[in-house]
Amino acid sequence: MTREQLETRQIPLYFAAVLAAVAFGLLASDTARHLEALVTPAIAVLMYAMFLQIPFLDLRQGLGNRRFIAALLLANFVLVPLLVWAITRGLVEHPAILVGALLVLLTPCIDYVVVFTHIGKGDARLTLAATPVLLLLQLVLLPLYLALMLGDSSSVAISIQPFVQAFLLLIVLPMALAVLTSARARRSPAIAAWNVAWAWLPVPAMAVVLMVVIASQIAVVLQGFDRLLPVIPVYIGFMLLAPVLGVLSARLLRLPATAARSVTFSAATRNSLVVLPLALALPEALRGLAAAAVITQTLLELVGELIYVKAVPRLLR
């Protein structure tokens, strides 16, 4: 099997991983809970593997398409946050769910969105080149968005330290190692071979992360499912409206069809696996339901992506 074949078959692989994780998490829930300790290292490995595929050293070239970058930023950091603020107002009385929903809906995906964009006939190269921009801006803007949308609610107390720790371990450290590795690969055949070997790992690593995350959390999700019901319409509303905002941004900037599809997939796809450790780092009173809210969005989004890969190319011909 070639790497391209592995990548084209990854969605069935992800769904198989999800089904296996659900079965294990329900049939052996006591054992599965211990997998929570593996969530952070598994995601760190995934992020390193993904970052190795991102052309950080060619970021200036990726920023050359100014209209695409402008549409991407307009969709993800202006229109989508306004949408998220509007559709989450009904969750104010459910602070744990509100925090979880805000964490996941305010952060654009930086990993498997590239894959879905490719399958959905978008320009995956543009998406890949813009990934560092999306990453850096969400690092800066997420705390600001949370502060504005949570307001002065005394029922939600979020310490900045776990967020900083999670970002350092899951984003900064893997990204720094990937940049250093990529820089050295240009001068060292051994490190270049290392990079080639790691290029096979994003898909298996994503499957492992899905298994670890879902198996360790599915029991919590089902136990609190009645309390999670208020967030389901929010996620469905986001799945329906976020792509429309992506299309709107692309048309305002007069992008060609493939680039417009890329913006649409980016607007609709969220960074759930990366923000899960942030949810798990919340205070005890919020942690369980916030993490369950993040996992619920992941499960719904995987179904949504199957619709997007068929609908987006038809919508943007």
Q: Tell me the pLDDT tens digit for each residue of 160-202.
A: 566 667 677 877 788 889 889 988 887 888 888 998 888 888 8
Q: How far apart are CA 280 and CA 295, in angstroms?
A: 11
Q: b/e for 100-119, b at 16 or more Cβ within 10 A?
A: bbbbbbbbbbbbbbbbbbbb
Cα separation values, 37 from 34, 131, 219, 313, Å? 6, 28, 16, 40
Domains and CATH numbers, the chain: 3-315 (1.20.1530.20)
Can you give the pLDDT at residue 118? 81
Q: How far apart are CA 72 and CA 87, in angstroms?
A: 21
Over residues 22-79, the pLDDT tens digits come to: 999 999 888 988 888 888 888 888 888 877 877 666 666 656 789 999 999 999 999 9
Query: At residue 108, what are phi and psi to the nearest 5 degrees?
Result: -70, 145
